[in-house]
């Protein structure tokens, strides 16, 4: 009997185990801060997400500790399960002094926790730190919750989305960069059927995509069609993107790609790694995502096929002209839990630490590594050494800890212009800012959305995949939208619209994108 019992208490058991584990960890931290009072070095515990497969070497960590006179303990958590880990730490009351959140989406998941007073409001302190006050007010405003600032942010271009494609394949088939959706379809089709690699085998596909409707290809192509970014204006009211006819057109486009085999058929269950694998092994010719990835993709592709040439492209004309969805100017954000930072004095210590991290010297260490070892300086610009593995082991993970970025840190080294495609990608990322599609609900509030919005969206995501794979038809999709409305969507729409109407005139001045005429 008692043997069986264990199965029935799995969740509380997990919680207790986590609690025990975390108590252990916080002991380590606490004991660390006791040491700190002995040798006068503030102890700072950090939880951050890790984008590489392995925990980095502590070379850079040591340098940061030395330069800032602190003692760090960084808990690296794999990116894939980061949000779960944050929830577990919140539930067990074992947050570190510094908590990183992955991106804007994570920030909105944790809004309730932020509201509840779990974190320090840092707005009033920023002015006393010269480097931190260089952060852009308009971006900081996007990270606020109920008008209060709780976080520092890492810079992110407003839209990095675009197309990376095989220039050599396109040249061989006499194709130019796709200027419209029709041309994009044509490129995908010919990359699939016209043997673009010239090996005489039918072994290529057009587009490689993955199990992500947002950062994969779907949302970007959807914005080429002119679909709003999450929410948009439809007959004078805010409506979710999936109720727009353009969203349906995008789904039909993907359904066609899938039916005709122009995209990897397993894309709804393909990981990012496998998606890139198809591209770098010369099986797929088009990759839609962050254009800045062209550098690493090219390095890996050339290792397999030295003759391969990549190019980037951003302007694809849809029925409404150009358009691309925008983020809010930040990626990772940093929060400061009150449970781990009990006093204002300690908060100031931590903020002082971040102020120093935003100095050019430390920013260069974190972004580029050690001069002579990880990069060299030519004409005042940095050039990374060729050893990709060395940089991945020593430097890359620390880039995730950076606050601000090249536009807010004065004196941070710019890269040497060396890679043509990468330079073009940077130019196109700036060009994207000419036709951004913003999310109008960013400054708005819906209590019902905070409660169940994420879960309801999951149903719509499932339905989108099912439509693309031909498992449901248009009527089936509409039925899903109906049940979204019934299960709380209608109330979310109502609340967002009310929030819009009652919001300050400042918000009302936001231009209305994507009005359907």
Judged by the rule CB under 8 A, the positions of this chain that interact with another protein are 1-13, 15-16, 83-84, 87-88, 90-93, 109-110, 112-113, 116-118, 205, 211, 264-266, 268-269, 339, 454-455, 461-462, 464-466, 469, 471, 483, 487
Is the CB of 110 or the CB of 398 nearer to another protein? 110
User: How far apart (Å, rounded) are the C-alpha atoms in residues 52 and 396?
Assistant: 8
Q: Can you say how many angstroms the Cα of residue 444 is from the centroid of all Cα atoms in its chain?
A: 21
Is the CB of 60 or the CB of 251 nearer to another protein? 251
Beta strand residue intervals within 90-226, DSSP E: 98-101, 152-155, 161-166, 205-208
What's the closest the beta carbon of residue 3 comes to another protein, in angstroms?
Answer: 7
Is the CB of 367 or the CB of 467 nearer to another protein? 467
User: How far apart (Å, rounded) are the C-alpha atoms in residues 84 and 97?
Assistant: 18
What's the closest the beta carbon of residue 270 comes to another protein, in angstroms?
Answer: 9
Q: Three-state SS for 309? A: coil
Cβ atoms of residues 82 and 56 within 8 Å? no
Is the CB of 447 or the CB of 454 nearer to another protein? 454
What's the closest the beta carbon of residue 16 comes to another protein, in angstroms?
Answer: 4
Place of tokens 């058929």: 265
Is the CB of 88 or the CB of 347 nearer to another protein? 88
**Angle of the 272-280 helix axis to the 294-304 helix axis, nearest 10:** 50
Number of neighbours of residue 504 by Cβ within 10 angstroms: 9
Is the CB of 129 or the CB of 465 nearer to another protein? 465
Is the CB of 445 or the CB of 457 nearer to another protein? 457
Question: Where do runs of H (alpha helix) occur along 111-150?
Answer: 111-115, 137-143
User: How far apart (Å, rounded) are the C-alpha atoms in residues 410 and 135?
Assistant: 11
What's the closest the beta carbon of residue 101 comes to another protein, in angstroms?
Answer: 13
What's the closest the beta carbon of residue 118 comes to another protein, in angstroms?
Answer: 5
User: How far apart (Å, rounded) are the C-alpha atoms in residues 184 and 182?
Assistant: 5
Place of tokens 């001069």: 371
Closest by Cα among 265, 266, 250, 310 to 285: 310
What's the closest the beta carbon of residue 298 comes to another protein, in angstroms?
Answer: 23
Is the CB of 53 or the CB of 506 nearer to another protein? 53
What's the closest the beta carbon of residue 466 comes to another protein, in angstroms?
Answer: 6
Place of tokens 């309801």: 456
What's the closest the beta carbon of residue 219 comes to another protein, in angstroms?
Answer: 16
Closest by Cα among 216, 250, 287, 230 to 105: 230
């Amino acid at each position: 009997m008692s043997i069986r019992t264990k199965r029935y208490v799995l969740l509380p058991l997990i919680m207790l185990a986590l609690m025990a584990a975390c108590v252990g960890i916080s002991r380590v931290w606490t004991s660390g801060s006791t040491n700190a009072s002995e040798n006068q070095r503030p102890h700072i515990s950090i939880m951050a997400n890790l984008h590489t497969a392995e925990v980095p070497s502590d070379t850079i960590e040591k340098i940061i500790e030395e330069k800032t006179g602190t003692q760090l303990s960084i808990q690296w958590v794999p990116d894939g399960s980061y949000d779960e880990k944050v929830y577990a730490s919140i539930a067990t009351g074992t947050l570190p002094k510094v908590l990183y959140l992955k991106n804007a989406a994570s920030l909105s998941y944790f809004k309730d926790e932020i509201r509840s007073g779990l974190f320090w409001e840092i707005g009033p302190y920023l002015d006393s730190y010269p480097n931190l006050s260089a952060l852009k007010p308009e971006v900081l405003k996007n990270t606020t919750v109920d008008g209060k600032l709780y976080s520092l942010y890492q810079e992110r271009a407003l839209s990095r989305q675009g197309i990376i494609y095989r220039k050599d394949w396109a040249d061989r088939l006499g194709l130019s960069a796709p200027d419209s959706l029709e041309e994009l379809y044509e490129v995908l089709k010919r990359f699939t059927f016209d043997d673009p690699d010239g090996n005489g085998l039918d072994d290529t596909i057009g587009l490689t995509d993955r199990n992500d409707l947002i950062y994969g290809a779907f949302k970007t192509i959807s914005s080429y069609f002119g679909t709003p970014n999450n929410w948009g204006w439809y007959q004078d009211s805010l409506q979710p993107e999936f109720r727009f006819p353009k969203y349906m057109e995008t789904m039909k486009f993907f359904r066609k790609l899938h039916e005709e085999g122009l995209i990897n058929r397993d894309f709804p269950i393909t990981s990012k790694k496998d998606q890139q694998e198809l591209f770098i092994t010369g099986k797929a010719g088009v990759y839609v995502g962050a254009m800045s990835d062209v550098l690493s993709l090219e390095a890996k592709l050339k290792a397999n096929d030295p003759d391969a040439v990549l190019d980037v492209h951003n302007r694809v004309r849809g029925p409404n002209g150009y358009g691309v969805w925008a983020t809010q100017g930040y990626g990772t954000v940093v929060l400061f839990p009150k449970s781990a930072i009990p006093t204002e004095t300690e908060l100031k210590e931590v903020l002082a630490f971040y102020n120093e991290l935003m100095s050019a010297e430390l920013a260069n260490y974190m972004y580029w590594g050690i001069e002579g070892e990880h990069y060299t300086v030519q004409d005042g610009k940095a050039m990374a050494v060729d050893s990709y593995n060395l940089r991945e082991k020593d430097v890359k993970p620390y880039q995730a800890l950076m606050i601000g970025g090249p536009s807010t840190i004065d004196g941070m080294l710019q890269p040497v212009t060396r890679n043509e495609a990468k330079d073009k990608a940077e130019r196109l990322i700036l060009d994207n800012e000419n036709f951004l599609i913003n999310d109008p609900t960013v400054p708005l509030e819906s209590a019902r959305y905070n409660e169940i919005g994420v879960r309801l969206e999951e149903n719509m995501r499932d339905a989108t995949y099912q439509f693309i794979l031909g498992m449901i038809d248009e009527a089936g999709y509409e039925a899903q939208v109906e049940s979204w409305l019934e299960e709380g969507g209608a109330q979310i729409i109502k609340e967002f619209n009310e929030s819009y109407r009652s919001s300050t005139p400042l918000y009302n001045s936001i231009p209305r994108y994507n009005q359907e005429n």
